[in-house]
């Protein structure tokens, strides 16, 4: 019966065999691009710790609608969506909130437009895949060690600790947004230009990068607290 059904489908199509059509569908899905613009099939994450939490699955609409609520579900969310969500809160420093700008409205479309414009600037300047540049910039500027405070005998002491891979990813992106926000607030530089400049500097391990500076400060404090 199965062979008869296949033959019937082939006679209705009057073109290629069903197996060839299925092979074409598989190749098309393999060539699917992120936002229909960027090929992520050859992108690699070199850091073994952060590899689990860096998700860049190719989609036309990168939006989870808040459905991932499980433990460590942040790794299932696309990295570009996390980036766009952090762009929505650029001026926050812990419990202190700085003045927000006119481009910050909390809308997903506007935040994602800033990210896409940033990627286009990176592509023009580096002539490389902007998603690969962004991931490499995170790997270069993510701190491995940090400092916490422990209390012993009524006294408080700094103690060096290892930073978890998930926190390394989110904290580094947040630091990039903070540095770009400071360079674009009340200045002629637009936020997408500042973000692109910050990502390219972190990609090249430039000392002028705000994220690289924060990484060096965190690791120096951890070394002194050991």
Check pLDDT > 70 for residue 22. no
24 in a domain, yes or no? no
| pLDDT at residue 24, rounded to an integer | 44
| pLDDT at residue 141, rounded to an integer | 93
Q: What is the mean pLDDT of residues 112-138?
A: 92
183 in a domain, yes or no? yes
Q: Are 147 and 159 in contact (CB under 8 A)?
A: yes
Report the CATH number that the domain containing residue 36 is assigned in CATH: 1.10.455.10
15 in a domain, yes or no? no
pLDDT, one tens digit per residue, over 55-67 is: 888 888 888 777 7
40 in a domain, yes or no? yes
Strands (E), the chain: 92-93, 96-97, 145-152, 155-162
| pLDDT at residue 138, rounded to an integer | 93
Domain count, the chain: 1
| pLDDT at residue 26, rounded to an integer | 39
Q: What is the mean pLDDT of residues 89-96?
A: 72
User: The domain containing residue 82 runs over which residues?
Assistant: 32-224
109 in a domain, yes or no? yes
213 in a domain, yes or no? yes
Q: What is the mean pLDDT of residues 87-100?
A: 72
Q: What is the mean pLDDT of residues 199-203?
A: 94
101 in a domain, yes or no? yes
13 in a domain, yes or no? no
Kindly tell me the burial class for residue 226, based on how many C-beta atoms sit within 10 Å of its own C-beta (0-12, 13-18, 19 or more): exposed
Lookup result for tokens 């936020």: 191
């Amino acid at each position: 019966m199965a062979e008869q059904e296949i033959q019937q489908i082939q006679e209705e199509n009057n073109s290629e065999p069903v197996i060839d059509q299925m092979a074409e569908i598989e190749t098309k899905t393999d060539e699917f691009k992120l936002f229909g613009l960027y090929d992520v099939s050859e992108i690699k994450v070199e850091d073994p710790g952060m590899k689990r939490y860096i998700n860049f699955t190719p989609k036309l609409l990168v939006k989870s609608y808040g459905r991932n609520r499980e433990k460590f579900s942040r790794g299932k969310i696309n990295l570009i969506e996390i980036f766009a969500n952090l762009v929505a809160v650029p001026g926050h420093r812990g419990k202190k909130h700085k003045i927000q700008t006119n481009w910050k409205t909390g809308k997903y479309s506007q935040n994602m437009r800033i990210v896409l414009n940033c990627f286009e600037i990176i592509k023009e300047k580096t002539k490389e895949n902007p998603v690969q540049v962004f991931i490499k910039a995170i790997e270069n500027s993510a701190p491995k060690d940090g400092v916490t405070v422990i209390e012993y005998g009524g006294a408080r002491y700094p103690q060096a600790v290892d930073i978890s891979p998930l926190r390394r990813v989110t904290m580094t992106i947040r630091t990039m947004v903070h540095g770009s926000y400071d360079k674009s607030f009340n200045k002629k530089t637009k936020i997408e230009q500042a973000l692109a400049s910050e990502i390219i500097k972190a990609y090249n391990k430039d000392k002028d990068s705000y994220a690289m500076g924060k990484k060096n400060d965190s690791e120096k404090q951890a070394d002194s607290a050991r």
